[in-house]
Amino acid sequence: MSSQKILVVTVMRLGDTFQHLNLIGSIQKKHGFDSTIDMVVTDYSEQLIELKGHPSLDAIRKFFSIPYSKWQKELTSRYLSIDKKIQDLLRISESLSRENYDFVYNLSNTDFSYRLLDLVESKNVVGAYYRQGKATYSSSKVKLFLDEYGFTRSSYRLSLVEALANSLDLQIPTKTILARRSLNKKPKVLFQVTTSDQKKKLTYSKWKDVFRLIQNQCQIEVLSSASEFADLQTEFLGYAHVKSLTIKECFSYLNSVDLVVSLDTSILHLAALNGINCLGVFLGSGHKDLTAPFVENAKLISAKSDCYPCSHSQACSQSSHLCEQSLTADEITKGILSSLSSRNENRVLDVSPNDWANQSGL
Amino acid sequence: MLEPRLIKEKKSYSSLRNPAKEISAWLAETLPHVPKDARIAVLGLGDGQHIRQLLNMGYINLSVLEFDPWVISCFETFHKDLLESYPSFRVHRLYGHSYFEDDFSGYDYFLPFRSCWHNNAKIFSELYSCLMSQGSILNYHQNLEISDQSKKAKAIRALVSMGLKSGVK
């Protein structure tokens, strides 16, 4: 079999894209390790283009980026022209068609991705797509997956990435934790306390209560973007050390961390991708069944209010943030301490990134 | 020097009381969104004072879209210096509804100067809603035949699907 050209389409947010990277190894295994894999991402997730040192990322030959968030913003602008965006989209789709891919995998469950694939010429498409304006599925399993996961429910049997893998006949690797020998005297816990979605947030005062409860046992660090650094530093002065890191810096920094505690954000999935011990705190539309971090022993804490989980696209329907109120600082603290103790039970592996594929059964 | 004021069929092409204030208000509302090197099309030529101001402020990649040949000829008379001093500046004459055949893809921004639309308000509004991002995308989409499978039609459908609040599926 001659080497095949594969395109993977993941036009979603950064966290979803990190989860999709779990499927790259399986695509390689299916089409041969000499196959070339390119990836279409959006500007929401183009920071991952800079990342190196993970087998799934290193397997990608070329990235194509679609200025999705820019277009979304411009499409609601009062003054900007639509014609230019049409031309830009056609230019991107033509450059993809010129690559003459043997297989295109659509890992995104968005209408835009299906429409994009109507513009890209390829020999085979795996997943859902439009062909000459008609919704098309590469198999009945894909349609079943979209029917089942197309709307919010209270519980799901499989996480989104597991169900997606099943529908595309891909094997998802065994969840792995590459526990590292900690060099820290006190375990280092990195917190991601902010998210762009208000519904998924825990109040800063609750985080401070948590920090107060664990400060004797742990080194506490709060992750920040450059834009929120000054605010977070003022807010958590005396409670935690605030670190401003880019995604690229964070990717390598995570190796020195014993536990990542995060709301439902891309950092949680980046930590999981790196095999770091995680504790996810799920509120609002952050669905713990759907988007749990794909790593062994990850612990999840979720809201207990009746309205949880709510829909992604709507604002909180309650008079107060009930799901946030349903979680106490004690519960989160217990989760952290339990995650740190289970860390010590993990088998410590000294593995290089190149061994990762073998370790995970690929 | 007195600035020329155009009046046609008892309608003025700019504010009779305070045209300077009218232009400053328009510039203040519009310009924060527009970078200087953008390719701009202003909808409506009118007296031409707003165009003079934009060019003097450094927005030189400028064109004006205008339907009325009389307004264009007045502009060419009273603002000849602008046409000579700014080589990239153009007045783009439109011919009624055939504007749908014109290619507007070379412009990044469309700035409507409504005060001078009086005599052609309806067709200017139609043109603007066609060119405007959201209005235009919905217009385009609503006018698309389901059977239209041209690449442009597919690209429009893809853009419509990007989660526009009023987007149609």
Tell me whether residues B134 and A118 touch, CB distance under 8 A: no
Please report which confidence band the pLDDT of residue B163 belongs to, taking 50, 70 and 90 as the band edges: low
**In the predicted structure, residue B22 carries a pLDDT above the cut 70:** yes
Instruction: Label each residue of A161-193 as H, E or C.
Output: HHHHHHHCCCCCCCCCCCCCCCCCCCCEEEEEC
Q: With an 8 Å Cβ cutoff, is A112 touching chain B? A: yes
Tell me whether residues A112 and B30 touch, CB distance under 8 A: no
pLDDT per residue as tens digits for the range A127-152: 999 988 788 899 999 988 888 876 66
Q: Tokens in use for A352? A: 């290089």
pTM exceeds cut of 0.95 = no
Please report which confidence band the pLDDT of residue B125 belongs to, taking 50, 70 and 90 as the band edges: confident
In angstroms, the separation between the Cα of residue A15 and the nearest Cα of chain B is 19
Q: Are A47 and A15 in contact (CB under 8 A)?
A: no
Kindly write down the DSSP assignment for every residue of A87-102, as one continuous string: HHHHHHHHHHHHT--S
pLDDT at A1: 58
Q: Quote the ipTM score.
A: 0.79
Out of A78, A93, A132, the one facing B149 most closely (by C-beta) is A132
Q: With an 8 Å Cβ cutoff, is B142 touching chain A? A: no
Out of A74, A78, A119, the one facing B155 most closely (by C-beta) is A119
In angstroms, the separation between the Cα of residue A115 and the nearest Cα of chain B is 5
Please report which confidence band the pLDDT of residue B102 belongs to, taking 50, 70 and 90 as the band edges: low
Average pLDDT over residues A100-122: 93
Query: Per DSSP, what are the bridge partners of residue B66?
Result: B93
Query: Per DSSP, what are the bridge partners of residue A220?
Result: A189
Q: How many C-beta neighbours within 10 Å does residue B37 have?
A: 11
Tell me whether residues B159 and A80 touch, CB distance under 8 A: no
Average pLDDT over residues B124-148: 64
pLDDT per residue as tens digits for the range A261-271: 999 999 999 99
The answer to which of A221-225, A274-278, B131-135 has the lowest mean pLDDT is B131-135
pLDDT at B147: 64
Q: With an 8 Å Cβ cutoff, is A93 touching chain B? A: yes
pLDDT at A74: 79
Burial degree of B49 (CB within 10 A; 0-12, 13-18, 19+): buried
Residue A134 neighbours by CB under 8 Å, 6+ apart: none
**Collapsed DSSP state (helix, strand, coil) of residue A134:** strand
Tell me whether residues B158 and A119 touch, CB distance under 8 A: yes
Q: Tokens in use for A336? A: 């952290």
In angstroms, the separation between the Cα of residue A113 and the nearest Cα of chain B is 8
pLDDT at A153: 66
- Per DSSP, A123 falls in state S
In angstroms, the separation between the Cα of residue A88 and the nearest Cα of chain B is 9
Burial degree of B94 (CB within 10 A; 0-12, 13-18, 19+): middle
Q: With an 8 Å Cβ cutoff, is A196 touching chain B? A: no
Q: Are A74 and A49 in contact (CB under 8 A)?
A: no
